Amino acid sequence: MAPPNPHSYILVVDDHPDGREMLTEYLRFRGFDVLDAPNGETALTQALSCPPRVILMDLQMPGIGGWEATRQLKAHPATKNVLVIALTAHALAPDEKIARQAGCDAFVAKPFDMVGFGEALSEVMQRGRAGLAAVDALSPLRGKPVKPRRTART
C-alpha cells in the first residue's frame, strides 16, 4: 500500500496477527485507508513519520504496550492530537480508567460488533473528536449503540 496522507488514515495496532488482519481488511473493505503495526514500537515509528487521524490501539502487547505507546504519542507535538481508541479484551472499569489516563480518547471492549464499530469509526473519521460520541455509545461486548430500555407503566 502506498504511504497515506497524514491525518487521513487509520493505524491498527495489535500483536495478534489474526485480529489485526481481520480488522484491517474489514476497514479497507469499508473504504478506509488503513495501515497496521504489530506492536507499540512500530506504531510509534509509523505514527511519528506520518501521523494518522485515528489509532486503534490494543493495550496488552509485549514490549511497548498500548498504554505506554499512547503516553508517548500524546506527549509528542506531532501526534498529541491524533485520536487513540483503546481496544482491549480486558473490559474492567480500572482498565478503562488507566487507558484514559494514558491519553486514550475512547475505549472499546473486545469482542465487539464489527459493523457497529465500523459505523462509529466513520463518524470519527468524518467529525473528528466530536465523532467519538458514537464510539462511546457502543455497548460493551456487542458494539451496538446503547438504547434506553422502555419500562412498562404501572
* 91-117 pLDDT per residue, tens: 565 667 777 778 899 988 888 889 999
Task: Give pTM, 2 decimals.
Answer: 0.85
151, part of any domain: no
CATH of the domain at 54: 3.40.50.2300
CB 15 within 8 A of CB 40: no
150, part of any domain: no
Instruction: Report how far residue 5's alpha carbon sits from residue 18's, in angstroms, rounded to the nearest whole number.
Output: 26
Question: How many structural domains is the chain composed of?
Answer: 1
Closest CA to 55 of 63, 46, 75, 130: 46
146, part of any domain: no
83, part of any domain: yes
User: Percentage of the chain surpassing pLDDT 90?
Assistant: 59
27, part of any domain: yes
29, part of any domain: yes
Full domain range(s) for residue 14: 10-136
